[in-house]
Amino acid sequence: MAKKLGLLDLIALVPSADIARAAKTLGLDPEALTKRLLALDSTGLSTRLVDTATRALKPGEAGRLVIDHATRIFSQARDLTRDLEELAGLQAPELHFGTDMFTAELPLGAALGRMAAANSRLRVRVETSDLEHLAREVLAGRLEFAVADTAGAERHPAKFAIEPVAEHRMFFFVGQGHPLAAAEKHSLETILVFPLVAPRLPQRMAVHLDKAATHARVDRETGDLTPSLMVDSFTVARNVVTAGDAVGLAPLVALEQDLRAKHVVLLPFTAPWLQLTYGLFYTRKKPLSRVAQLFMTQLRQVEAGLQAREQRALSKLEGGKKSKRTTTRGKSRSAGGAGSSTRSSSTGRRARSRR
C-alpha cells in the first residue's frame, strides 16, 4: 500500500461504508487511515472529500461529486485502453467514410492518429463533401458511414441510423484589415454584404441567411443554402478569406491558431441557430464494422477534450468583450468629465469678466 491514498483507492474504499472495516482491508488501523484521508483532501482539491469526524466512511457533497466524476473518467480510460488493445489485434482494419468541411477540422485527425498509432496496418480513406452528397453516398453503399452535419441523413429517418456526437457554436470571421473587422456590433445584413465562403449549409441556417445573403441560392428540394463561394475545404476557405474581402464561417476551435497569430478576426455576431450539429450516420441495412465502432469510441474521446477547450476559449472571449466594454465606458465617462470641467471653467471666467 502506498503512503498516500489516491482517488482510485478512495473509490474502492467507499463501498465498505465504515472506516474501521476499510482500514482492516488495507492492513491499517482506523487512525492511520483517517490521516491518509485527510492527506488526500490536501492534495490540491481544496475541499473535504470524506467526513472523518464519525466512524462512517461517508463522502460529503463535494466528495460525492469528485468521486462520481473520477469514477466516470477512470471507466472511460479503461474503455479507451481496451479498445486500443482490441484495435491493435485486428489483422487488416479498413475505414472508408465521408465527412464535411467543418467536422473535418474537429476530432477526426486526432482520432485517426490514435488508431494508426495502435495498429500500423490500419488503412483509411476519407472523402470530404457536402452534407447532401454524403447522405447519397452512404445510402448507395459507396461509403460505410459519414461523420458530418446530420441534416442530410435526417431527411431519411427510415433509411439511416444516426448517432449524434456534439454541437459547436459557429462564428463569422474575416481577414485582418477587412472593413468589418473594427466594428463592435454587426447585423446579419451588414455581414453578408460581402460574399460568404462556406460549404452547403443546412436548412436550419438557410432560413435565416437567405434574405441577407443576396448572392446565395436555396435548393428548392432540400431547403439548403449554397453560398456564392461554395467550397468543401477549410484550407481553401481560409485562404479565400485572408486574401480578399469574403466572410468565412467556422467553429471556434478550428480558428484558434489563426486567431492567436492574428490572421483572422471574429465578427461580433451570435445566434442560437448558428451551430454545427454533427454526428455519425450509416444505413440501417448494414451495421457498423468493428473497426468503425472503435473509431467512434476514439472520436467521442477526442470530442470531450474539444468541448472543454471550446468552453475555455468561449469564456476567454466573453471576458475580453466585457473588459473592452468596461474600458470604452470608462473612456466615455472620462471624456464627459473633462468636458464638464472645461465648461465650468469657461462659465467662471465669463462671470468674473462681467463683474
pLDDT in tens, 194-227: 999 999 999 999 999 998 988 899 999 999 999 9
How does pLDDT run along the chain (355 residues), one tens digit per residue?
Answer: 445 555 555 555 555 556 666 666 666 666 776 666 666 554 555 455 555 555 555 556 666 666 666 666 655 555 555 555 555 656 668 899 999 999 999 999 999 999 899 888 889 999 999 999 999 999 999 999 999 999 999 999 999 999 999 999 999 999 999 999 988 899 999 999 999 999 999 999 999 999 898 889 999 999 999 999 999 999 999 999 999 999 999 999 999 999 999 999 999 999 999 999 999 999 999 999 989 998 999 999 999 999 998 988 888 877 766 555 555 455 445 555 544 444 444 444 444 444 4
| Per-residue pLDDT at 24 | 65
Distance of alpha carbon 234 from the chain centroid: 17
Can you read off the three cell numbers belonging to residue 97?
467514410
7-85 in CATH: which number? 1.10.10.10
Helix, strand, coil abundance in the chain, percent, nearest 5: 50, 20, 30
- Which sequence spans correspond to the domains of the chain? 7-85, 90-319
65/10 Cα distance (integer angstroms): 13
- 90-319 fold: D-Maltodextrin-Binding Protein; domain 2 (3.40.190)
Distance CA 169, CA 306 (A): 12
Q: How confident is the model over 304-328, as pLDDT tens digits? A: 999 998 988 888 877 766 555 555 4
